[in-house]
Amino acid sequence: MADTAKKSLKDQIAEIAGKFAGTRFVRAIMDAGFSVISFSIVGAFFLIITVLPQVIKIPAFISFYANTLGRFNDLFQSVYNATMGIIALVFSGTFAYSYTKIYQDEEHINVVPLNGLMMFLMGFFITVAELVWKNGKMVFLQTSTQNKMVAGGYEASTSGIYRIGAVGIFIGLVIAWLTVQIYRYTIKHNWQIKMPSSVPSGVANSFSALIPAFCVALVVAVINGALVLAGTDMFNLLYVPFSFISKIADTWWGFLVIMFLLHLLWWFGIHGATILSSFYYPIVLANMAANVNGAHRFFAGDPTDAFINVGGSGAMLGVAIWLVLRARSAQLKELGKVEIVPAFFNINEPLIFGLPIVYNIDLFIPFVCAPLAAGIVAYVGIESRLVPVIRFQQPWPTPVGLSGFIATVSWQGAVLSITCAIVAFLVWYPFIKHYDNKLLKQEKKHQKSETA
């Protein structure tokens, strides 16, 4: 009886997961994830080139680098900016295209995927420029401080335009979803300009999108304008629910809450580290300074990259190695081959978007729980005084082992870093193996259908 009940519960969970994975929204998300694999891989390799001097701190190498590859760092950064620096546009834009096509195919309505994509870009860029209400009118934000430079409403740096990078993925998805729904609604209710059949399809499609595009622009502008009048906007609104982070950051349970939220947000397509770090960063710097003066505080410097997110968000170094050595599905094996090198430098966007992680119910539990398990091991190791506290902030791309050594200036820190990576993979193993088998079955089924 117990086995039947347990099986019934398992079947119910599988059914719920299957329905979620089969929704139009999630299917479009999956298409978007696959579309950015090549971009993320190219960006990852050029990023590795630019951070080499931060990782290999040998004077002779630093001097050699400065006189050779270092001369072209801005060029390498430009390549990165043109890939990962515009990831919100690529990811959310592909989502809008795929989401529109799904409605076109399944509801047989006259929506054009390319129009859905272009209307999304218009709607998204309405939100990218930062506006403020000043002296009785709405104006572009203009500010220049040590930490932030905004000109004409656009925050920019050597990393590109801030809001169109990874931090903009979630807002991009919101705008893309809203765009497609408005487009679908207007077309279904014949809010469009219809041209005679003799007019070329390209011209007819552009005119048919005129009224839907106006509706998208109007709705997004009204929403964004209303938020600006309220003293915020769509991007800044994301920060409001997380202001409590600064109050709990200096506690052990608060640290675990931060790690949980960071990865939960990433699963939803929100760059959690960018949002949450703005609240806890001053605290970890203060704690690191206190540790130098004899204090014993765990959440100091950068424990996430030293011990927790080894291999990138989700603690996925072990996953990358396993994909290369043990994966059976062609998709995961090939993904592992291109990700293995970036993973050692804590760069895992190819996995984030290639598996993908975003809205993938099969990998939600390990992506959230593996860093928590690694975090608990790191916390126990340091709080038990088996490992010295963090006194230095190691560069984030520092490989496993070396990162822990630099952070704590001890061999114990190196051992703890490697141990945390192993613990994280033990959490990942049953899930990534199950996912690999699932993809392998799909590939075999697809091969049979092609040969039939």
Structural domain boundaries enclosing 376: 242-451
Do 214 and 271 reside in the same domain of the chain?
A: no
Residues 189, 293, single domain; the answer is no
Instruction: Tell me whether residue 257 is in a domain.
Output: yes
Q: What is the mean pLDDT of the chain?
A: 87
339 in a structural domain: yes
Whether 214 and 314 map to the same domain: the answer is: no
Q: Which pairs from 200-206 meet CB under 8 Å and 24+ separation?
A: 205/112, 205/114, 205/115, 206/115
Residue 287 lies in a domain: yes
In which band, very low, low, confident or very high, does the pLDDT at 192 lie, cut at 50, 70 and 90? confident
Q: Has residue 175 been placed in a domain?
A: yes
Q: Are both 276 and 187 inside the same structural domain?
A: no
Q: How distant is the alpha carbon of residue 408 from its chain centre?
A: 28
Confidence band, pLDDT 50/70/90 cuts, at residue 353: confident
Q: pLDDT tens-digit profile of 396-445?
A: 888 999 999 988 989 999 999 999 999 999 999 999 999 999 999 988 88
Beta bridge partners of 137: 134
Q: Which of 205, 237, 269 is the endpoint of a domain?
A: 237
Q: Is the pLDDT of residue 9 over 80?
A: no
Nearest Cα to 399, choosing from 417, 374, 375?
417
Residues 348 and 430 placed together within one structural domain of the fold:
yes
Q: Are residues 183 and 118 in the same domain?
A: yes
Q: Are 255 and 225 in the same domain?
A: no
pTM: 0.79
Per residue in 30-69, pLDDT (tens digit) is 888 888 888 888 888 888 888 888 778 789 999 999 999 9
Examine the fold and report which residue of 198, 216, 237 is the final residue of a domain before the chain moves on: 237
Q: Based on the domain organization, do 130 and 278 belong to the same domain?
A: no
Q: What is the pLDDT of residues 219-238, one digit of tens each?
A: 999 999 999 999 999 998 88
The verdict on residue 25 lying in a domain is no
**Are the CB atoms for 200 and 110 separated by under 8 Å?**
no
For residues 141-167, average pLDDT: 85
**Are 273 and 200 found together in one domain?**
no
- Mean pLDDT lowest for which of 239-248, 341-350, 404-413? 239-248
Say whether both 295 and 404 belong to one domain: yes
Structural domain includes residue 392: yes
Distances (CA, A) of 169 to 97, 147, 245: 15, 22, 22
Q: Scanning the structure block, which residue is given the tokens 């396993």? A: 322
Count structural domains, the chain.
Answer: 2
The verdict on 409 and 323 lying in the same domain is: yes
Final residue of a domain: which of 222, 237, 252? Answer: 237
- Helix residue spans in 328-410 (DSSP H): 330-344, 349-354, 364-383, 402-408
Report yes or no on 22 lying in a domain.
Answer: no
- Give the pLDDT score at 105: 92
Q: What does the pLDDT read at residue 4?
A: 47
Q: Would you say residue 15 lies in a domain?
A: no
Same domain (yes/no): 146, 280? no
> Given this model, what pLDDT does residue 196 score?
65
